[in-house]
C-alpha cells in the first residue's frame, strides 16, 4: 500500500547574512494512512523546518528547498499550484501548534475561528459550519455553548483542545502536531494526550508528532524518527527505538533522562554541544559527540542501513545492514 | 578561530569604550555622521579664524545680496555676511541643541527608569506630573521657565531641556517596564545589587535604543525651540548670530532673498541628518547582539 | 559521567546532617491583583537539612517559585518566618540582607532572560564579587577564571556576550554567578527546564558535582518529576499554595499517599514501552488561586473526596517515617 505521505531526500537550507544554514539535510520517511510518526530531536535539529516544508510554508527568502520529493496522497506537493496547495493546507493537512496562547486570534471567538476554517474549505453554509463547530468542541470535551467565548476565557489546556478541534474540523488526512503538549502542565498534558489518542482513532487520521519529549512519543506514536542536525539518524517502530536503539545519539538521549520508575537513577549526558548550523561537522554529523566515534566517521557520511523495517545512519552497523 | 587562551586573556582588560569604537568603526555611515558633527563643532570653536567678516558688522556688503565670490552665502537685510553668521551661529545653536537635549535625556531618562523600575505609586505620581508637563505646550512651558529665571543663554538651555523631559521619561519608562520583568534584574537583586545600581547598570543600558533615537531627533527641535524663544525676545538677543533666529529673520525675505532661509535651514538639516545616522550607528554599536 | 545512588533510607538522605540549615514556618504570600487577592503561597512549612536537596514540585501557579523567591527575599512574604542558621531572614534589615546574600543564592530558569544581554560573561560572573567588594580587581578576575573552570566554561568565553552562547553555556554562566560568593544555600528555580535533553543531563550532573565538592544545600524547584526524583533527598508536592505531601524521595515515589500526588506521578510520560503506573486522568484544570476551594483545595478534582473534604482543611501530618501528607483519607484511619 502506498504511503499517505512520503518524503524522499528532502533538503532545506536558509540563506542568511552569516552564511548558509543547512536546516534539513536529505531526510526520507513515510507516514501510512492512520500511522503516527514521532519526530524527535533537540532544538535546532530541523523538526519544525520539516513540518513547514510538508505544508510548503518554508519562508522564502531566506528558505530554499534544495531538493527532495514530498508526495501526499500520491500527489507531488512541489508540483502543485498555490491554489491547489491552499486546498490541501488546513483541509487535508492541518497543524496543531505548540503555544495555544498565540496560535489563536485573541479578538475572535473560538467558535468563529473554527467555523471560519470549515467554511473556507468545505463548501458549507455558515449555519452548518457552526453546528459542526459545536460538535467538534464537544468532541474535545468543551461545552458547545462556549463557542461564543474568546481565547482568553479558556485555560491553557482548554485552548490547546480548541486548537485540536480546529485541526480536526475539516477531517484532515494528516495532522502535524508541533510540540502540542510542551507548554502544558503534566496533568493537563496527560488529558490532552489521552484526547489526541482517542480522537485519532475516531477520525482515523494520520499524525506526525514533533516533540523533544521521548515520553510523549511513547504515549502516542507507533513509529519514531530521531533527528539530529538536520538528518534522521534513526527511524523505526516504537519498540525498535525504545527497546533496541542502534544509533549512539538515540541511546545517548535515553541515557539523559532520569528514570522515574527506578529506585536510583543514573544519567549519562551526551558530551559537547549541538553542532553549529553554519558549519556542520564533516562525515557523520554526530561524530564530535559520539562515544564510539571511529576514523571513518570523521570523513564519510554514513549510508542509510535498512533492515527489518528500520533505518539507521551509522557506520557502526555498516557490515550487518543492507546498504542502500 | 585564531588566538590562544593566553592572548585572549590579555584582551580581558580592553576598555568598553574601545570596544564600542571598534564596533562603531565598521559602520561607515556612523563614522561619516560623526565626522560631520566634529567638523561643525570645530567650525564653532574656531569661528573667529574661519569667518571672513565680523558676524555682527552691518553693511559689510550690500543688503540682501545674492551669493557671490565676496560673500559666498550672500548677505542679510542688514548687509551682514551670511557665511560668517552661519559659522558663528554654530556656537550657540550646537551648544543649545546639545545641552538642552543632554538635560532632557539625562533627567527624563533617569525619571523614566526610576518609575519604570519601581512602578506603583512612584510611577503614578511622577508620570501624572509628566503628563501635565506634556499637556502644556512646550513653548509656553519654556516661556514660563525663562520668564521666571530671566532671559539668558543658560536659562534658555534649561528651559528647552526641561520642556523635553516628559518625552524621554515616557519612552524610557516604556522600555524600563519590559526590562524590569526580565529575570536578570531579579538576578541582580539576588546578588545584592542596590536599586540605584540596578537602575544605572541594568535598566538604563537596556533602554539606550529609544533614548538615542529620541535624542538625535531632539537636537533639531531644541535648536528650533531656542529660535522661537529668541524670536519672542526670551533667549539669545539680537544681533547674536544663531541658526534658528537667522531662519526666522530670513522668512520675511523668502521671495527675493531665498538664500537667507536656505543656508541656515541646510546646516540644521545637515546636523540632524548627521546625528541621526551617527545615532543609529551608536545604538547598534552599543547593542552586543548586533555585533558582526 | 556521573552516577548516583543516594542512601535514601533515612528521612534526610545520607549526606545530610540532623540540623536544619533553613526552617520555614507558615510562609504566606498574597498578591493583590485587580480581581482580588491571589493566594500564591498559603501557609507553607518545611525545613531543609544541611547538605540535602529538597525538591519542590508542582504545576504552574502552585506557588513553588514564589516560595523559593520568598525564602531569599526576592519577594517579600506576607507573613511567616524563615530561619537560616538561627537568624530570622524575613526580619533582617536591608544591609543585613545584602550581606546575607553571600550565603543564599538562586539559579534561574530561563538562561536567556536571566543574564543581562549587555554584559560580558566575565562581567556577569564577576558582578557579585564587585558588589560585595571581594578582593582586588586582579583577584576578582582570577576568581572569575576559577569559577568558569569550575562550571565547565572555557576561558576564551570571558569577553563573549550572552547571545553568542547556547542555552547550556548560559545556564553555566548563571550557575557560576550564583557560586561566586561561595554560598551554602542555593534555590534552583527550574534550572534545567528550558534546556534540551542532552544539555539538561550535563547541567544536572554539574549541579550534583558542585553540591558534593562545595557542600551546597539546594531547594530544587521544578515541575519535572523525573528530574526532582533524580536529584532530591526529600520532595514536597505543592498544590494551590499548599504542601500536600512531603516525604523522603523514595517513599514518596513508592508509596504515594495524596490523591493529587498520585495523579501527578501517573501523568508523567515515561520513555518506556511498558509503564508500571496506571494513569489517573484528572478532570478539569486547577481552580483559581484568587478563590481557592474551601477545605482541602484539591477536593474539586479529587476522585476520592468525602463530605469532610470540602469543609475542613486537612493538616500536613506525619503518616510514619517522616512521610507527611495533608489528606483526610490518610489520617482518618
- How far out from the chain centre does Cα A312 lie? 19
Q: Per-residue pLDDT for B240 more than 90? A: no
Q: Which of C205, C271, C281 sits opposite A218 (nearest CB)?
A: C271
pLDDT range class, residue B156, cuts 50, 70, 90 = confident
Query: pLDDT at position C180, please?
Result: 94
- The C-alpha angle with vertex B270 and arms to B264 and B275, in degrees rounded to 5, equals 130
Answer whether residue B28 is part of any domain. Answer: no
Domain interval for residue B99: 45-290
Sort strands A63-72 and A75-76 into parallel, antiparallel or unpaired: antiparallel
Could you tell me whether strands C87-88 and A93-96 are parallel, antiparallel, or unpaired per DSSP bridges? unpaired
Residues of C in contact with B200 (CB under 8 A): none
Q: What is the pLDDT of residue B3?
A: 38
- Quick one: pLDDT at residue A224? 94
Are A297 and A289 contacting, i.e. CB atoms less than 8 angstroms apart?
no
Contacts of B184 (CB under 8 A, 6+ apart): B202, C113, C114, C115, C116, C117
Q: What residues 247-266 of chain C have any CB closer than 8 A to a CB of chain A?
A: 250, 253-254, 263-266
Residue B88 neighbours by CB under 8 Å, 6+ apart: B47, B51, B55, B241
Query: What residues of chain C lie within 8 A of the CB of A156, using their CB?
Result: 285
Whether the CA torsion A277, A283, A288, A290 is positive or negative: it is positive
Yes or no: say if B236 and B88 are a contact pair by the CB < 8 Å rule: no
Nearest chain C Cα distance for residue B33, angstroms: 24
Which residue in C92, C93, C116 has the most chain B C-beta atoms within 10 A of its own C-beta, making it the best mutation to test that interface? C116
User: Is there a domain that residue B38 lies in?
Assistant: no
Using the predicted structure, report yes or no on whether residue B37 has a pLDDT greater than 80: yes
User: What H or E segment, with its residue span, contains residue C189?
Assistant: strand C185-189
The rounded distance, in Å, linking the Cα atoms of A129 and A117 is: 9
* Residue A313 CA: distances (Å) to CA of A141, A249, B188, B243, C248: 42, 11, 47, 74, 44
For residue A223, what is its C-alpha cell? 513509529
Q: Do A242 and C197 touch (CB under 8 A)?
A: no
Q: Give A170-193 pLDDT, tens digit per residue.
A: 888 999 999 888 888 888 888 888
Query: pLDDT tens, B160-217?
Result: 888 889 999 999 999 999 999 899 999 999 999 999 999 999 999 999 888 988 888 8
For residue B286, give Cα distances in angstroms to B17, B18, B20, B205, C315: 10, 12, 6, 9, 56
Tell me which residue of A112, A109, A199, A122 sits closest to A154, measured CA to CA. A109
* Pairing relationship of beta strands A231-237 and A75-76 according to DSSP bridges: unpaired
Whether residue B124 contacts residue B114, with contact meaning beta carbons closer than 8 Å, is answered with no
SS (H, E, C) A181-226: CCCCCHHHHHHHHHHHHHHHHHHCCEEEEEECCHHHHHHHCCEEEE
Q: What is the mean pLDDT of chain A?
A: 87
* Per-residue confidence (pLDDT) for residue C275, from 0 to 100: 64
Asked whether the predicted pLDDT for residue B58 surpasses 60, the reply is: yes
Give the CA-trace dihedral at B82, B85, B86, B90, to 10 degrees: 180
Average pLDDT over residues B97-106: 92
CATH at residue B141: 1.10.3720.10
Give 3-state DSSP helix, strand, coil % of chain C, rounded to 5. Answer: 35, 20, 45
Q: What is the rounded average pLDDT of the residues B92-100? A: 88
Q: Are C186 and C217 in contact (CB under 8 A)?
A: yes
- The dihedral over CA atoms of B78, B79, B83, B87, expressed in degrees to the nearest 10, equals -40
**Cα(B148)–Cα(B153) distance, integer angstroms:** 14
Please state, in angstroms and rounded to a whole number, the distance separating the CA atoms of residues B60 and B80. 6
Flag whether pLDDT at B9 surpasses 70. no
Q: Do residues A222 and A209 touch, judged by C-beta distance below 8 A?
A: no
- Domain-embedded: residue B29: no
For residue B20, what is the nearest residue in chain C, using CA coordinates? C118
Residues from chain C contacting residue B182 (CB–CB below 8 Å): 113-114
Give A294-305 as a DSSP string.
-HHHHHSPPPPE
Are A258 and C229 within 8 A, CB to CB?
yes
Q: In 3D, which of B77, B80, B32 has the Cα closest to residue B52?
A: B80
Q: Give yes or no for C59 touching A (CB within 8 A).
A: yes
* Superfamily of domain C22-103+183-331 in the CATH hierarchy: P-loop containing nucleotide triphosphate hydrolases (3.40.50.300)
φ/ψ bin of C8: left (φ > 0), alpha (ψ from -120 to 50), beta (otherwise):
alpha
What is residue B1's predicted lDDT score, i.e. its pLDDT? 38
CB C55 within 8 A of CB C228: yes
Mutation target vs A (from C164, C193, C198; most A CBs, 10 A cutoff): C198
Min mean pLDDT across A175-189, B30-44, B50-64 is at B50-64
- Identify which of C4, C2, C49 has the alpha carbon closest to the alpha carbon of residue C230: C4
Contact C222, C268 (CB under 8 A): no
Contacts of C199 in chain A (CB under 8 A): 42, 269, 273
**Helix/strand/coil (H/E/C) assignment for every residue in B162-175:** HHHHHHHHHHHHHH
Looking up cell 517522616, which residue turns up? C322
CA–CA separation, B274 vs A125, rounded Å? 60
Q: Helices B208-231 and B153-180, interaxial angle, to 10°?
A: 160
Minimal C-alpha gap between A18 and chain C (Å): 13
Q: Which residues pair with A67 in a beta bridge?
A: A11
Q: Is residue B30 part of a domain?
A: no
Tell whether the model's pLDDT for residue B260 goes beyond 90: no
Is pLDDT above 60 for A266? Answer: yes
- Residue B190 to residue C113, Cβ atoms within 8 A: no
Sign of CA pseudo-dihedral C166, C169, C173, C178: positive
Q: Which of C106, C118, C154 sits opposite B190 (nearest CB)?
A: C106
Question: Rounded to 5 degrees, what are φ and ψ at A271?
Answer: -70, 160
User: Can you tell me whether residue C331 is helix, strand or coil?
Assistant: helix
Which of A42, A255, A267 shows the shortest C-beta gap to C230?
A: A267
Task: Please indicate whether, in this complex, the C-beta atoms of C271 and A187 are within 8 angstroms of each other.
Answer: no
pLDDT for the residue B5: 43
pLDDT band at A319 (very low <50, low <70, confident <90, very high): low
* A-contacting chains (≥3 CB pairs under 8 Å): C
3 state SS of A76: strand
DSSP string, A152-180: GGS-HHHHHHHHHHHHHTT--SEEEEEST
Is residue B174 situated within a structural domain? Answer: yes
* B217: in domain: yes
Q: Which helix (H) or strand (E) holds B17?
A: helix B16-26
- B20 to chain C, any CB pair closer than 8 A? The answer is no
Nearest to B184 among C72, C109, C116 (CB): C116
Number of domains in chain B: 1
C304 Cβ under 8 Å from any chain A Cβ: no
Band of the pLDDT at B151, cuts 50, 70, 90?
A: confident
Residue A103 in contact with residue A113, Cβ under 8 Å?
no
Q: Does B192 touch chain C (CB under 8 A)?
A: yes
Which residues of chain B are within 8 Å of residue C177 when distances are taken between CB atoms? 187, 191
**CB atoms near residue C260 (< 10 Å):** 27
3-class DSSP state for residue C5? Answer: coil
Tell me what pLDDT residue B13 has.
53
What is the count of residue pairs from B and C with beta carbons less than 8 Å apart?
83
Torsion over CA of B111, B117, B122 and B128, rounded to 10 degrees? 60
Q: Is residue B279 part of a domain?
A: yes
How many Å is the maximal CA-CA distance in chain C? 68
Q: Which residue of B has its CA nearest to C127?
A: B191
**Neighbour-count burial for B119-149, b at 16+ CB within 10 Å, e otherwise:** eeeebeebbeebeebbeeebbebbbebbeee
Task: Give A40's contacts in chain C (Cβ within 8 Å).
Answer: none
Mean pLDDT of chain B: 83
CB C54 within 8 A of CB C219: yes
Q: Where are the domains of chain C?
A: 22-103+183-331, 114-181
Nearest 10 degrees: Cα torsion B42, B47, B52, B56: 150
C-alpha cell at position C31: 498578591
Q: What is the largest CA-CA distance in chain B?
A: 73
pLDDT at C13: 43
Q: Give the bridge partners for C24, in sequence order.
A: C46, C82
3-state secondary structure A225-273: EEEECCEEEEEEEHHHHHHCCCCHHHHHHHHHCCCCCCCCCCECCCCCC
Q: Which residues of chain C have pLDDT under 70?
A: 1-18, 275-277, 332-333
Q: Per the CB < 8 Å rule, is B8 touching C132?
A: no
Amino acid at each position: 500500500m502506498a504511503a499517505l505521505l512520503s518524503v524522499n531526500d528532502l533538503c532545506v537550507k536558509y540563506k542568511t547574512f552569516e552564511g548558509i544554514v543547512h536546516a534539513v539535510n536529505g531526510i526520507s520517511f513515510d507516514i501510512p494512512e492512520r500511522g503516527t510518526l514521532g519526530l524527535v530531536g533537540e532544538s535546532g535539529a530541523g523538526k519544525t523546518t520539516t513540518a513547514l516544508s510538508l505544508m510548503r510554508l518554508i519562508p522564502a527568502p531566506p528558505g530554499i528547498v534544495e531538493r527532495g520529493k514530498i508526495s501526499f496522497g500520491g500527489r507531488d506537493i512541489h508540483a502543485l499550484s498555490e491554489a491547489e496547495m491552499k486546498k490541501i493546507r488546513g483541509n487535508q493537512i492541518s497543524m496543531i501548534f505548540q503555544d495555544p496562547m498565540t496560535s489563536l486570534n485573541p479578538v475572535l471567538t473560538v467558535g468563529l475561528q473554527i467555523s471560519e476554517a470549515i467554511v473556507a474549505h468545505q463548501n458549507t453554509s455558515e449555519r452548518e459550519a457552526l453546528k459542526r463547530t459545536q460538535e467538534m468542541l464537544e468532541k474535545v470535551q468543551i461545552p458547545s455553548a462556549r463557542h461564543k467565548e474568546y481565547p482568553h476565557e479558556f485555560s491553557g489546556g482548554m485552548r490547546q483542545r480548541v486548537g485540536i478541534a480546529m485541526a480536526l474540523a475539516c477531517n484532515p488526512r494528516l495532522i502535524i502536531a508541533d510540540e502540542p503538549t510542551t507548554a502544558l502542565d503534566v496533568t493537563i498534558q496527560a488529558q490532552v494526550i489521552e484526547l489526541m489518542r482517542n480522537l485519532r482513532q475516531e477520525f482515523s487520521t494520520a499524525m506526525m508528532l514533533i516533540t523533544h519529549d521521548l515520553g510523549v512519543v511513547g504515549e502516542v506514536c507507533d513509529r519514531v524518527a530521531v533527528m539530529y542536525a538536520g538528518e534522521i539518524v534513526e527511524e523505526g517502530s516504537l519498540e525498535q527505538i525504545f527497546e533496541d536503539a542502534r544509533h549512539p545519539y538515540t541511546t545517548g538521549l535515553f541515557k539523559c533522562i532520569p528514570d522515574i520508575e527506578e529506585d536510583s537513577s543514573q544519567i549519562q549526558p551526551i558530551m559537547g554541544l549541538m553542532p553549529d548550523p553554519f558549519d556542520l561537522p564533516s562525515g557523520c554529523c554526530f561524530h564530535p559527540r559520539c562515544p564510539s566515534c571511529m576514523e571513518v566517521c570523521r570523513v564519510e557520511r554514513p549510508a542509510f542501513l535498512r533492515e527489518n523495517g528500520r533505518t539507521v545512519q551509522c557506520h557502526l552497523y555498516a557490515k550487518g545492514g543492507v546498504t542502500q | 578561530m585564531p588566538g590562544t587562551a593566553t592572548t585572549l586573556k590579555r584582551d580581558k582588560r580592553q576598555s568598553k569604550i574601545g570596544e564600542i569604537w571598534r564596533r562603531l568603526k565598521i559602520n561607515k555611515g556612523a563614522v561619516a555622521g560623526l565626522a560631520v558633527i566634529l567638523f561643525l563643532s570645530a567650525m564653532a570653536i574656531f569661528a573667529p579664524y574661519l569667518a571672513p567678516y565680523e558676524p555682527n558688522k552691518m553693511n559689510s556688503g550690500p543688503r540682501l545680496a545674492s551669493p557671490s565670490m565676496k560673500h559666498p552665502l550672500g548677505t542679510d537685510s542688514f548687509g551682514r555676511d551670511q557665511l560668517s553668521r552661519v559659522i558663528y551661529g554654530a556656537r550657540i545653536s550646537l551648544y543649545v541643541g546639545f545641552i538642552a537635549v543632554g538635560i532632557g535625556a539625562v533627567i527624563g531618562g533617569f525619571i523614566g527608569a526610576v518609575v519604570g523600575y519601581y512602578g506603583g505609586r512612584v510611577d503614578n505620581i511622577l508620570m501624572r506630573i509628566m503628563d501635565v508637563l506634556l499637556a502644556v505646550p512646550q513653548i509656553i512651558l519654556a516661556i514660563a521657565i525663562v520668564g521666571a529665571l530671566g532671559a539668558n543663554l543658560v536659562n534658555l538651555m534649561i528651559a528647552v531641556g526641561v520642556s523635553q523631559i516628559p518625552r524621554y521619561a515616557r519612552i524610557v519608562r516604556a522600555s524600563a517596564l519590559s526590562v524590569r520583568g526580565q529575570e536578570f534584574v531579579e538576578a541582580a537583586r539576588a546578588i545584592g545589587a542596590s536599586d540605584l545600581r540596578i537602575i544605572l547598570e541594568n535598566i538604563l543600558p537596556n533602554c539606550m535604543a529609544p533614548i538615542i533615537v529620541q535624542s538625535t531627533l531632539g537636537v533639531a527641535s531644541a535648536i528650533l525651540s531656542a529660535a522661537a524663544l529668541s524670536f519672542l525676545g526670551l533667549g539669545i538677543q539680537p544681533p547674536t548670530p544663531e541658526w534658528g533666529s537667522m531662519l526666522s529673520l530670513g522668512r520675511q525675505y523668502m521671495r527675493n532673498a531665498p538664500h537667507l532661509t536656505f543656508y541656515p535651514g541646510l546646516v540644521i538639516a545637515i546636523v540632524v541628518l548627521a546625528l541621526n545616522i551617527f545615532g543609529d550607528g551608536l545604538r547598534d554599536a552599543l547593542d552586543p547582539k548586533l555585533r558582526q | 559521567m556521573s552516577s548516583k545512588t543516594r542512601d535514601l533510607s533515612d528521612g534526610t538522605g545520607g549526606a545530610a546532617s540532623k540540623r536544619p540549615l533553613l526552617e520555614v514556618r507558615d510562609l504566606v504570600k498574597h498578591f493583590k491583583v485587580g480581581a482580588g487577592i491571589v493566594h500564591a503561597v498559603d501557609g507553607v512549612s518545611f525545613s531543609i537539612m544541611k547538605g540535602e536537596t529538597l525538591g519542590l514540585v508542582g504545576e504552574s501557579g502552585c506557588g513553588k517559585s514564589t516560595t523559593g523567591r520568598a525564602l531569599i527575599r526576592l519577594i517579600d512574604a506576607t507573613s511567616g518566618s524563615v530561619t537560616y542558621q538561627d537568624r530570622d531572614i524575613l526580619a533582617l534589615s536591608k544591609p543585613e540582607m545584602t550581606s546575607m546574600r553571600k550565603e543564599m543564592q538562586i539559579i534561574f530558569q530561563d538562561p536567556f532572560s536571566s543574564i543581562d544581554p549587555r554584559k560580558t560573561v566575565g562581567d556577569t560572573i564577576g558582578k557579585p564579587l564587585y558588589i560585595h567588594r571581594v578582593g582586588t580587581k586582579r583577584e576578582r578576575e582570577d576568581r572569575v577564571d576559577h569559577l568558569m573552570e569550575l562550571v565547565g566554561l572555557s576561558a576564551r568565553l570571558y569577553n563573549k556576550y550572552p547571545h553568542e552562547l547556547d542555552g547550556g553555556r548560559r545556564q553555566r554562566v548563571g550557575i557560576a554567578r550564583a557560586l561566586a560568593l561561595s554560598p551554602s544555600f542555593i534555590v534552583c528555580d527550574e534550572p534545567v527546564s528550558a534546556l534540551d535533553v542532552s544539555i539538561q543531563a550535563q547541567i544536572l550532573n554539574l549541579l550534583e558535582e558542585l553540591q558534593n565538592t562545595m557542600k551546597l544545600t539546594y531547594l530544587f524547584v521544578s515541575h519535572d518529576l523525573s528530574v526532582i526524583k533524580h536529584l532530591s533527598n526529600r520532595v514536597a508536592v505543592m498544590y494551590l499554595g499548599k504542601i500536600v505531601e512531603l516525604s523522603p524521595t523514595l517513599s514518596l515515589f513508592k508509596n504515594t499517599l495524596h490523591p493529587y500526588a498520585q495523579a501527578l506521578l501517573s501523568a508523567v510520560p515515561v520513555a518506556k514501552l511498558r509503564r508500571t503506573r496506571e494513569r489517573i486522568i484528572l478532570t478539569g484544570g486547577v481552580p483559581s488561586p484568587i478563590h481557592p476551594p474551601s477545605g482541602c483545595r484539591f477536593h474539586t478534582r479529587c476522585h476520592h473526596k468525602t463530605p469532610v473534604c470540602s469543609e475542613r482543611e486537612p493538616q500536613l501530618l506525619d503518616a510514619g517515617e517522616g512521610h507527611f501528607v495533608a489528606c483526610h483519607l490518610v489520617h482518618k484511619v
